[in-house]
Amino acid sequence: MASFSFSFSGDDIEDDGAIGTTQDAAGPSSSSALSVQGLQALSIQGASLVTPTSSAAPAATAFPVPHKPQLPPQCHDLQGMLSKLPSKIAFSLLDVVLDVRAESSAPIGANGGTSAAREEPCLIRLPRRELWDVKVQLMAEEEAEDDESGNAQELAPGLGEHDVKTGIYEGGFKSWESSVDLVKVLLQPPASVSTPEPALSAVAGAVLSQDGPAHVIELGCGTALPSLALFHWACATAPSAASTTPFRRSHQLSITVADYNPSVLYLVTLPNFLLTWALQQRDANPLVQQALSFEDADGSGNVSGELELTDEVKDAFCAFLTSARVTLSFLSGGWSAAFVDLLYGLSTADAGPPPHTLVLGAETIYSPFALESFSVLLLTILQRETGTSTRAMAVVGAKKLYFGVGGSLDDFVQRMREAGVVVNELREEADGVRRGVVQCLL
């Protein structure tokens, strides 16, 4: 079994909720497997995209695994995933301080106005299920399996010493720096200091504030911080929400999160959505108030807590999704033509007009093969949206250079521009490891 370990240990974002600034820029995608076997060569505005195959493995890269098939794409039922969760999940909070913007260049807010400059910082608190809690659940499950089979089982890949196990696990249990950068690009401080909830930035609002349904797709989601931020906004702006936010959504919002590993989706991604809903709705829902508990053991402000997952809490979560006009979909498996078909099968299953589409990706280009695979998949999605009456864009965050691995944000930008994609630089982070966020439009 091939393994792939980077030159730093632990999370890109530390367990105490602070954003880590590793000195080496190597880092995996919290992503789906970077294989696009079966995708046809594309021709977009004169640029021919030839898809790598498993028989032509590039040198000096983590992917692919010769002669080893990728996991097939699969859609996971929400109710089935909820049934696998334990009776209680533990979490910590990650504080993301949103960028303060000057009034003269303030983007459009969620209520259609502009954001005035704020003197005090505005932050959003995003929950993440604790990894030790994931391990406790897995050990309990595997102990039960041992009793039945008589054979000792191994914990899920990704909970050991390696950041990536090539072709086995793609880093989804950890949160990576660029996912936080995406949160800062997608949300902004509210227009009024009296409004507690963050607003959409001009970038996100260009898709999500349009007339008609919207579809957010996060590729290589892992802990799904960018999608959680938008889900938090969706909860606060739901038609039935008890909030001081003046804007109310009137259209359907679909959120599709994709990770190579099904275990990542049900062990951390779905729990994080549950926690985001519970934290945002706790003041308005007595059931949630009773199910949530908080702890600040060391007095440092690093808040942790637990959420009891009773059947009533799960039912309330599903009922809220319906009333808030939010649909959650979970996809796993390798990136392929079948993956694209499955992705668009979700959209066609819903009656109504086609949605505006926002594609998100953080740390998905950390090797040359990963970069090519992600580029082909992203171009395939953008091409399918071209010529419709809807708006589509992608927002991608990555490190400027992945030392020792070979991927870079500049190479991705060049690759996309050669294919006729308009790429705009949205954000650059110079502190610690250099990173950037770009917008892609076809």
Q: C-alpha distances in angstroms, 429 versus 8, 102, 367, 399, 438?
A: 20, 18, 20, 9, 12
More confident residue, 191 or 143: 191
Q: Say if 147 falls within a structural domain.
A: yes
pLDDT at residue 151 in the model: 53
Structurally, the chain folds into a number of domains equal to 1
d(CA 413, CA 409): 6
More confident residue, 294 or 193: 294
pLDDT at residue 258 in the model: 96
pLDDT at residue 45 in the model: 36
Q: Say if 9 falls within a structural domain.
A: no
Helices of type H across 157-224: 177-186, 202-208
Least confident of 5-14, 60-69, 305-314, 399-408: 5-14
Provide the phi-psi class of 41: left if phi over 0, else alpha when psi is between -120 and 50, else beta: beta
pLDDT at residue 142 in the model: 75
Tell me if 125 sits within 8 A of 252, measured CB to CB.
no
Q: Say if 37 falls within a structural domain.
A: no
Average pLDDT over residues 280-288: 93
Closest CA to 98 of 124, 134, 68: 124
Tell me if 94 sits within 8 A of 17, measured CB to CB.
yes
Give the other-Cβ count within 10 Å of 249's Cβ.
20
Least confident of 69-73, 102-106, 169-173: 102-106
Give the angle subtended at the CA of 111 by the CAs of 110 and 116, to the nearest 5°: 85
Q: Say if 27 falls within a structural domain.
A: no
Average pLDDT of the chain is 77
Least confident of 181-185, 250-254, 271-275: 250-254
Q: Say if 404 falls within a structural domain.
A: yes
pLDDT in tens, 66-101: 456 788 999 999 999 999 999 999 999 999 999 875
Return the percentage of the chain with pLDDT > 90, whole number. Answer: 48
pLDDT at residue 169 in the model: 42
Whether the pLDDT of residue 36 is over 60: the answer is: no
d(CA 195, CA 245): 6
Least confident of 130-134, 291-295, 427-431: 427-431
pLDDT at residue 376 in the model: 94
Band (192; pLDDT cuts 50, 70, 90): confident
pLDDT at residue 115 in the model: 42
CATH number at residue 147: 3.40.50.150
d(CA 292, CA 308): 7
Average pLDDT over residues 378-398: 89
SS3 329: strand
d(CA 48, CA 372): 12
Q: Say if 63 falls within a structural domain.
A: no
Q: Say if 2 falls within a structural domain.
A: no
Q: Which helix (H) or strand (E) holds 78?
A: helix 78-83
- Assess whether the previous peptide bond of 64 is cis (omega < 30° from 0): yes
Tell me if 29 sits within 8 A of 366, measured CB to CB.
yes
d(CA 6, CA 1): 17
d(CA 245, CA 236): 7
pLDDT in tens, 215-240: 999 999 999 999 999 999 999 998 76
Q: Say if 31 falls within a structural domain.
A: no
pLDDT at residue 352 in the model: 73
d(CA 40, CA 146): 43
Based on the number of CB atoms within 10 Å of its own CB, is 23 exposed (0-12), middle (13-18) or buried (19 or more)? exposed
Return the percentage of the chain with pLDDT > 70, whole number. Answer: 68
Whether the pLDDT of residue 174 is over 50: the answer is: yes
Average pLDDT over residues 260-277: 95
Whether the pLDDT of residue 312 is over 70: the answer is: yes
More confident residue, 172 or 336: 336
Q: Which structural domain, as residue segments, surrounds residue 432?
A: 42-56+69-441
Q: What is the DSSP string of 134-158?
A: HHHHHHHHHHHHHHHHSS---PPTT
d(CA 367, CA 61): 6
More confident residue, 257 or 389: 257
pLDDT at residue 111 in the model: 40
**How far from the centroid of its chain's Cα atoms is residue 128's Cα?**
12
Helices of type H across 225-336: 225-236, 262-264, 270-281, 286-291, 311-323
Band (10; pLDDT cuts 50, 70, 90): very low
pLDDT in tens, 296-309: 755 566 788 999 99
Band (63; pLDDT cuts 50, 70, 90): very low
d(CA 68, CA 33): 12
pLDDT at residue 98 in the model: 93
Place of tokens 């990136």: 335
pLDDT at residue 156 in the model: 55
